[in-house]
Amino acid sequence: MAKLRDCLPRLMLTLRSLLFWSLVYCYCGLCASIHLLKLLWSLGKGPAQTFRRPAREHPPACLSDPSLGTHCYVRIKDSGLRFHYVAAGERGKPLMLLLHGFPEFWYSWRYQLREFKSEYRVVALDLRGYGETDAPIHRENYKLDCLITDIKDILDSLGYSKCVLIGHDWGGMIAWLIAICYPEMVMKLIVINFPHPNVFTEYILRHPAQLFKSSYYYFFQIPWFPEFMFSINDFKVLKHLFTSHSTGIGRKGCQLTTEDLEAYIYVFSQPGALSGPINYYRNIFRILCAGGVTLSGLCKSKCADLIGWEIPTVNTAGACDPRRPQFQEDTKNEILKCSCVASAAQIPKHPGHGTLDVAGIYTLPGLYVDPQATLHQGRSCIYACLYPK
């Protein structure tokens, strides 16, 4: 009987894991079936159009615009991977490190490269698997600890011990984790469109129905098929993400130019360029099955924080409120009508909160928001600004 009692927790954990993965793979199959029907529909309308994919041998001129900075490469010590980045501003100035999201690359920060170079050494990075940075094949190479170590090693390789760290989407998640695990490396932190990682995983585990609203999480678990669907009809899905009314840039005057859009398509049309970015998502259910982002018990950020949410689309009284004290120490709570943005590059100016030390993406100081802008993934945007006490 004692042995049975000892084995019961392990048995329950195994059963829970089996149930979890059964649900995940069932929904993966459903998502794959839906996309297969979309493929058949596209083929029915015209196979030639479906498989049309013009060769893109040369990058658009905007990617080599000298006003954006200098293209550089660095090979980091832990993984041996070579990272590509664009740097603007003089060496020796404080470092501002910019981490993009999905599906983006360094070019999303083109406005910030120009804006901040007079005061900072601004570095816009191609994350692991993106753009001209090396892209390991296996999804195990895209675990969170690998992504965190990348940024730590890059900082060392650039000759800096700390930086102003800005992240959007996946870059925002990585930025949070750097600030939590290595607070001495972060002078100031700005996160766009990603809550505290523990808040995110806790909320998902308590409200699993939320995952069904993000069907692409499941679709991306399938090998090679998501990459193929992204590329058909000359990357129609990518074009839709950036230009449609529902998910693209809605603010007039801030839409991507034809050349901007072609820059994104050029980068993701290169051989194997989609697998690395999608591999980030192929690890997400392993994180949730393990109980979320625990980081060896390090769950609190150790800086004074200001968190801004767009309202009313975010339930700030709910479990996904990043201002909750168990995740934030010395928090200054202030509800701001923050912007939804189409990409980290498209944040318009609206100076209204100049008392903050660092509280904006477009320029410093001041928080710049625009309630008329549209978020890249159709969800609410957060700005999380951390600065030392």
What tokens appear for 235 in the block? 């990357």
Task: Give the relative orientation of helices 225-243 and 2-45 as an angle to the nearest 10 degrees.
Answer: 70
Q: Reduced to 3 states, what is the DSSP secondary structure of residue 328?
A: strand
321 close to 315: Cβ distance less than 8 angstroms: yes
Q: Which amino acid does the sequence have at 321?
A: D
Confidence at residue 191, expressed as pLDDT on a 0 to 100 scale: 87
In this structure, is residue 37 part of a structural domain?
Answer: yes
Residues 328-355, mean pLDDT to the nearest whole number: 41
Confidence at residue 126, expressed as pLDDT on a 0 to 100 scale: 99
**37-46, 64-73, 207-216: segment of lowest average pLDDT:** 207-216
DSSP 8-state class, residue 351: B
Percent of the chain whose predicted confidence (pLDDT) is above 90: 52
In this structure, is residue 41 part of a structural domain?
Answer: yes
Going by pLDDT thresholds of 50, 70 and 90, the confidence category of residue 252 is: low
What tokens appear for 299 in the block? 């769950």
In this structure, is residue 30 part of a structural domain?
Answer: yes
**53-57, 86-90, 181-185, 372-376: segment of lowest average pLDDT:** 372-376
Please report which helix (H) or strand (E) contains residue 182, including its range. Answer: none
Domain residue limits at 233: 15-58+215-287
Percent of the chain whose predicted confidence (pLDDT) is above 70: 71
Phi, psi values for residue 153, rounded to 5°: -70, -35
Confidence at residue 253, expressed as pLDDT on a 0 to 100 scale: 63
Going by pLDDT thresholds of 50, 70 and 90, the confidence category of residue 292 is: low
Count of domains for the chain: 1
Which residues contact residue 45 at a Cβ distance below 8 angstroms, ignoring those fewer than 6 apart?
none
What CA–CA distances, in Å, run from 261 to 69, 229, 363?
20, 18, 24
Please report which helix (H) or strand (E) contains residue 315, including its range. Answer: none
In this structure, is residue 35 part of a structural domain?
Answer: yes
**69-78, 109-118, 256-265, 286-295: segment of lowest average pLDDT:** 286-295
Picking from 299, 285, 369, the residue whose alpha carbon sits closest to that of residue 335 is: 369
Distance CA 221, CA 158 (A): 35
What tokens appear for 285 in the block? 């259910």
Picking from 315, 311, 308, 310, the residue whose alpha carbon sits closest to that of residue 333 is: 308
126 close to 132: Cβ distance less than 8 angstroms: yes
Distance CA 249, CA 254 (A): 7
Average pLDDT, the chain: 77
What CA–CA distances, in Å, run from 298 to 178, 198, 328?
11, 10, 12
187 close to 179: Cβ distance less than 8 angstroms: no
In this structure, is residue 148 part of a structural domain?
Answer: no
Going by pLDDT thresholds of 50, 70 and 90, the confidence category of residue 381 is: very low
DSSP 8-state class, residue 197: H
In this structure, is residue 232 part of a structural domain?
Answer: yes
Q: Name, of 203-207, 221-225, 370-374, the range with top average pLDDT.
A: 221-225
- Label the pairing between strands 70-75 and 186-192: unpaired
In this structure, is residue 248 part of a structural domain?
Answer: yes
Distance CA 152, CA 160 (A): 10
pTM: predicted TM-score of the whole model, two decimal places: 0.81
Distance CA 314, CA 159 (A): 39
In this structure, is residue 122 part of a structural domain?
Answer: no
